Amino acid sequence: MESLKSFLNPIRFFRDLRRKDHKPSFGALDILKYIGPGLLVTVGFTDPGNWAANIATGSSYGYTLLWIVTLSTIMLVLLQHNVAHLGIASGLCLAEAATIHIKPAVSRPILYFAILASVATSLAEILGGAIALEMLFDIPLKIGALLITVFVLIMIFTHSYQKIEKWIIGFVSIIGISFLYEIFLVDVDWAEAGISWVKPSIPDGSMLLLMSVLGAVVMPHNLFLHSEVIQSRQWNLQDDNIIRKQLKYEFADTLFSMIIGWAINSSMIILAAATFFSNRIQVTELQQAESLLRPLLGNNASVVFALALLFSGISSSITSAMAGGSIASGISGEPYDIRDNHSRWGVIISLIGALIMIFFIGDPFKGLIYSQVFLSIQLPFTVGMQIYLTSSRKVMGKYANTRFMNILLLIIAVFVAYLNFKLLFSLIIN
């Protein structure tokens, strides 16, 4: 919370940025060097699974469920900021810390469950990229999925993390610009959208989509990934001044990146609401959304939609596979390193497991939706483990959670568990 208070005090924040009383220096422009890990997380919650959930939500309920994007993003800022603290203060990713500090009988089932969540995530990412290839070049879905998988494996196995990060920042920029372009083409009821961003409402029959939006924004694999990649910005774990400044820069990166993600996800729902819901068209597949955009907004809009989906699928497949590698290496008590066999097998399981499942999926759109619901079901387990670790002085030292932070994180865990129970109850009744 110290980093949060400092960031919210502009005078103190920028004064600290100018201080050069230790090495390496932290000038005002150095904050740009820290922008990257948060954007990797942003890719994870602007992925094809989000596209399916958001477009289905907007076309079915208009602007009504925009509030869940706002709430999910607030939850995400807290969770990602907290797990990044774990990586910076302990030098361990979430999976490593769980393996070292939690009994195997507890940690192993959660971590194996998290690997399954990584597979479910990769399923949505690869499937989304394959759907985009089908839209653009009429490539059959299964062949497109194979091409996306091979391309992503080549990207991960032949590039360093820093190179991949630059690629992904470029992909996120393209996705954001694409939706800005399409939003300007539609007639948006901004007054209703503004109210819906902050006014909770759960229409009848909307629980499945609400949970899919939540699972698509707050994703368990991102918690593992963020705690791993944030360590690429570390210099010296023994210097408290450096650690404090790293925590400060991390919060700026996380907040900036999550706001971008909130804007992109919101724009998906707004686009679907203004384009489909207003015309009483319920979208049941991404291909349908692309074909419907053409007569409503013109050919350019449909091509931009498909291209953005392709970039989203590729970039998010990279991050989900890296998360799988981080979890697998963490189970062995090691950091992520693509040259190490544990990390490699984690990446391969995440991508190839997803590819195999795609070959047995009858309805790709429903596959995207249910993959996001699966993530929301796994989330409370990962969050509970994270709270235990980040509140432990044995793990975090003096950077352990404050009581206030623990209360906020527990509220999030209970809220997600409550929504999962409500979803299960609604499915049983129906």
How many Å apart are CA 2 and CA 241, to the nearest integer? 13
What sign has the CA pseudo-torsion 290, 292, 296, 299?
positive
pLDDT value at residue 236: 45
66-90 and 207-217 are packed helices; what angle lies between their axes, rounded to 10 degrees?
A: 30
Length of the chain equals 430
pLDDT at residue 4 greater than cutoff 60 = no
Residue 149 pLDDT level (bands cut at 50, 70, 90):
very high
Predicted local confidence at residue 7, as pLDDT: 39
Mean pLDDT of 349-368: 82
- DSSP summary character for residue 62: T
Least confident of 180-194, 279-293, 318-332: 279-293
Q: Quick check: 17 pLDDT over 50? A: no
Half-sphere exposure of 151 (CA within 13 A, CB side): 18
The whole-number pLDDT of residue 12 equals 39
Question: Could you read off the pLDDT of 25-79 as tens digits, one per residue?
Answer: 444 445 555 555 666 667 666 666 677 778 888 888 889 889 988 988 888 888 8
pLDDT of residue 18: 33
Phi-psi region of 101 (alpha: psi -120 to 50; beta: other; left: phi over 0): alpha
**3-state SS assignment for residue 236:** coil
Give the 3-state secondary structure of residue 12.
helix
Tokens 């080549």: give the residue: 154
Better-predicted residue by pLDDT, 170 or 396: 396
* Burial of residue 25, with CB atoms counted within 10 A of its CB: 0-12 exposed, 13-18 middle, 19 or more buried: exposed
- AA letter at 317: S
Determine the Cα–Cα distance for residues 372 and 378; give it in Å rounded to an integer.
10
Looking at residue 294, which CATH number applies to its domain?
1.20.1740.10
**Of residues 34 and 211, which shows the higher confidence score?**
211
pLDDT tens-digit map of 172-183? 677 777 777 777
Q: Which domain covers residue 146, as residue numbers?
A: 2-429
Query: What is the domain count for the chain?
Result: 1
Q: In this structure, what token pair is assigned to residue 138?
A: 């009429």
Percent pLDDT > 90 in the chain is 10
**Residue 376 to residue 266: CA distance in whole angstroms:** 19
* Average pLDDT of span 246-250: 71
* 347: nearest Cα among 355, 308, 235: 355
Q: What is d(CA 211, CA 68) in angstroms, rounded to the nearest whole number?
A: 9
Q: What is the pLDDT of residue 125?
A: 84
Cα angle vertex 406, ends 403, 412, to 5°? 145
pLDDT of residue 144: 93
